[in-house]
Amino acid sequence: MATPQHDIRLVLADVDGTLVTREKILTPRAIRAVHALREKNIIFAITSGRPPRGMEMLVQPLALSAPLAGFNGGMMVHPDLSLIEALRLPRSTAQKTLDLLKDHQVPAWIYTSTEWLVPDAHGPHVAREEWTVKFSPRETQDLDAALDDVVKITGVSDDAALMQSVASTLQRELGTEASAALSQPYYVDITHPHANKGGVVHTLERLLGVPATAMLTVGDQPNDVLMFRASGVSIAMGQATEDVKASATWTTASSEEEGFARGIERFVLGED
């Protein structure tokens, strides 16, 4: 039995590509690792670009008790999905974001505090996302009424190079008005400037009284780097890009090779 190198009181994990596999499977080994954390009195929390409703299926198998950070921290809810707090984009910022995505011919999804709105219910990745989050979107072209309750906008395209360019453009054009980052190679998420995974670390610090220095974060995408930087230590998944890996304290195996469980077992629980 190895000795963990840090005093860790809370583990915060990304969901897609980290806690679950590419096929959105929560493996028995991942479940055991989370329960082992609880036995060590280590809090386990999750954060995701998903809406809170899209994280509900994880609450029971993992016996989650900490707040869930949906929309990359745009909505904090209790495990029963009751609202703790929400960070909405100002109407003008939401409209500016939609205009920028339209200029680049990137379809936009809008998430309000209660709905998921799409321009085409048969568009790219809609069916996959519906299967992932376990609820259906509403197809509409009339977005005006929704612009006062926008928690997240997601631009969607399978052109990875375009998405990297669009993410950079959004970051530059929106500046401090919003946070824009790739959550998958084909998704760029735009949220309130304080709604990012680094902000989740500090929100949990405030809500739970656990210092950021006593937190370990786990993730695989560029939008996870902010929580790596905010927390005491971090683990990058094996399939992450080299830039993401370089931002983490340690690297584990990929999501297809039980990387989450293996990272927790080795770096938190101290198992060889």
Instruction: Name the pTM for this structure.
Output: 0.87
**How confident is the model over 83-94, as pLDDT tens digits?**
999 999 999 999
Q: Both ends of the chain: CA-CA distance in Å?
A: 6
Show the domains of the chain with their CATH numbers. 10-86+195-267 (3.40.50.1000), 91-191 (3.30.1240.10)
**C-beta separation of 215 from 12 below 8 A:** yes
As beta bridge partners, residue 5 has: none
CB atoms near residue 136 (< 10 Å): 13
Q: What is the pLDDT of residue 1?
A: 46
Q: What is the pLDDT of residue 239?
A: 97
Q: What is the pLDDT of residue 3?
A: 44
Which residue type sits at 12?
A: L
Distance CA 244, CA 239 (A): 10
Q: How many DSSP H helices and E strands does the chain contain?
A: 9, 14
The packing angle between helices 259-267 and 28-39, to 10°, is 30
Q: What is the pLDDT of residue 6?
A: 72
Q: What is the pLDDT of residue 271?
A: 85
**C-beta separation of 31 from 25 below 8 A:** no
Q: What is the pLDDT of residue 177?
A: 95
- List per-residue pLDDT tens for the chain, 272 residues long: 444 557 899 999 999 999 999 999 999 999 999 999 999 999 999 999 899 999 999 999 999 999 999 999 999 999 999 999 999 999 999 999 999 999 999 999 999 999 999 999 999 999 999 999 999 999 999 988 899 999 999 999 999 999 999 999 999 999 999 999 998 899 999 999 999 999 999 999 999 999 999 999 999 999 999 999 999 999 999 999 999 999 999 999 999 999 999 999 999 999 86
